[in-house]
């Protein structure tokens, strides 16, 4: 097993929306420096789980720890949980960056503005310092030459790379990705996946919800397969993708093979 320290731990995490139970009894450890891929059929709770990690969604049971600190709720003396103040949530959230399926770039700011905004407002850098940092970050995702463009003037792939630069500019310890290529045309997914691959090689801790089985198989180290809000199985990529497979996973993977996806495995 890995000697990496825990970046995120979940103990008995559950989530219901009213009567609708979406996540049940999630116990999970995500280690520093690893790429964890969350797979599973549509509606299995992948996005909800990822959003709970960032406390964009409040988990209704259990404890989540980010870099050792409880996120949103801490264990209480009586065995229950107590809600943490917003300031504490914001502080723990600084460990995290998030990349969304819909990019979510701010349309009234240039690519540079999108990346520099939080450097100025949160890190309190002056404009010149923030923009220099932002430009370096855009360079890193190959978009320095598009710094002055507004999101509406960029392709989907470029927008998503700007969104990655925006997340990385705040120097998160862990980056969460929710289907970062799902709203892209097929010919644009490659440029985003290659930025992510580069990030993985630099040793970034990443949690990636994806339907890109090829990416999961090549870049993913830790694979978590969700089904109906539970972890059906998890393990090292090589083990999970090879026999003996769980019948639900085999069925899930088969739908990709049927759609023409090729499974290129590590080793």
Which residues of the chain form contacts with another protein (CB under 8 A)?
Answer: 54, 56, 90, 93-94, 96-98, 100, 102, 104-109, 117-118, 121-122, 150-153, 163, 166-167, 169-170
Burial status of residue 125 (CB atoms within 10 A of its CB: 0-12, 13-18, 19 or more): middle
Which of ligand ATP, another protein, Mg ion, none is residue 42 near (CB under 5 to 8 Å by kind)? ligand ATP
Among 9, 29, 36, 44, binds ligand ATP (CB under 6 A): 44
Query: Residue 55: CB partners within 8 Å, gap ≥ 6?
Result: 64, 71, 72, 89, 92, 93
Q: For the packed helices 111-121 and 156-169, what is the interaxial angle rounded to 10 degrees? A: 20
47 binding ligand ATP? (CB under 6 A): yes
DSSP helix/strand/coil, 53: helix
43 binding ligand ATP? (CB under 6 A): yes
Under DSSP, the state recorded for 264 is -
Least CB distance to Mg ion at residue 45 (A): 8
DSSP helix/strand/coil, 193: helix
What is the gyration radius of the CA atoms in the chain, in angstroms? Answer: 19
Which of ligand ATP, another protein, Mg ion, none is residue 43 near (CB under 5 to 8 Å by kind)? ligand ATP
Q: Is the peptide bond between 244 and the residue preceding it cis, with omega within 30 degrees of 0?
A: yes
58 binding ligand ATP? (CB under 6 A): no
- Look at residues 92, 70, 67 and name the one whose alpha carbon lies nearest to residue 6: 67
Least CB distance to ligand ATP at residue 128 (A): 41
**Pairwise CA distance, residues 231 & 30, whole Å:** 14
Which of Mg ion, another protein, ligand ATP, none is residue 146 near (CB under 5 to 8 Å by kind)? none
**Pairwise CA distance, residues 13 & 252, whole Å:** 24
Please say which residue, 56 or 238, places its beta carbon nearer to ligand ATP.
Answer: 56
Range in contact with ligand ATP (rule: CB under 6 A) among 43-51, 71-79, 200-208, 234-242: 43-51
Least CB distance to Mg ion at residue 42 (A): 7
- Look at residues 174, 55, 42, 151 and name the one whose alpha carbon lies nearest to residue 103: 151
203 binding ligand ATP? (CB under 6 A): no
6-17 and 20-31 strand pairing: antiparallel
Please say which residue, 182 or 194, places its beta carbon nearer to ligand ATP.
Answer: 182
113 binding ligand ATP? (CB under 6 A): no
Which of Mg ion, another protein, ligand ATP, none is residue 92 near (CB under 5 to 8 Å by kind)? none
Which of Mg ion, ligand ATP, another protein, none is residue 97 near (CB under 5 to 8 Å by kind)? another protein
Footprint on this chain of Mg ion (rule: CB under 5 A): 47
């Amino acid at each position: 097993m890995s000697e990496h320290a825990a970046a995120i731990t979940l103990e008995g995490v559950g989530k219901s929306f009213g009567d609708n139970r979406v996540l049940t009894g999630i116990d999970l450890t995500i280690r520093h420096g690893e790429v964890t891929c969350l797979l599973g059929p549509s509606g299995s709770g992948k996005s909800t789980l990822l959003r709970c990690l960032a406390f964009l969604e409040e988990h209704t049971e259990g404890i989540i720890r980010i870099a050792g600190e409880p996120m949103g709720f801490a264990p209480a003396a009586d065995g229950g949980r107590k809600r943490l103040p917003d300031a504490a949530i914001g502080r723990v959230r600084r460990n995290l960056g998030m990349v969304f399926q819909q990019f979510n770039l701010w349309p009234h700011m240039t690519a540079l503005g999108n990346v520099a905004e939080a450097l100025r407002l949160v890190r309190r850098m002056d404009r010149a310092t923030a923009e220099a940092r932002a430009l370096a970050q855009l360079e890193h995702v190959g978009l320095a030459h598009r710094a002055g463009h507004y999101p509406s003037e960029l392709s989907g792939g470029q927008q998503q790379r700007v969104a990655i630069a925006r997340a990385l500019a705040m120097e998160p310890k862990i980056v969460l990705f929710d289907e970062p290529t799902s709203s892209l045309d097929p010919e644009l997914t490659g440029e985003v996946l290659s930025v992510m691959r580069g990030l993985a090689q630099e040793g970034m801790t990443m949690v990636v919800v994806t339907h890109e089985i090829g990416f999961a198989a090549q870049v993913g180290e830790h694979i978590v397969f969700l089904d109906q809000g539970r972890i059906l199985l998890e393990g090292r990529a090589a083990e999970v993708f090879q026999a003996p497979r769980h019948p639900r996973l085999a069925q899930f993977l088969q739908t990709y093979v049927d759609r023409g996806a090729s499974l290129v495995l590590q080793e």
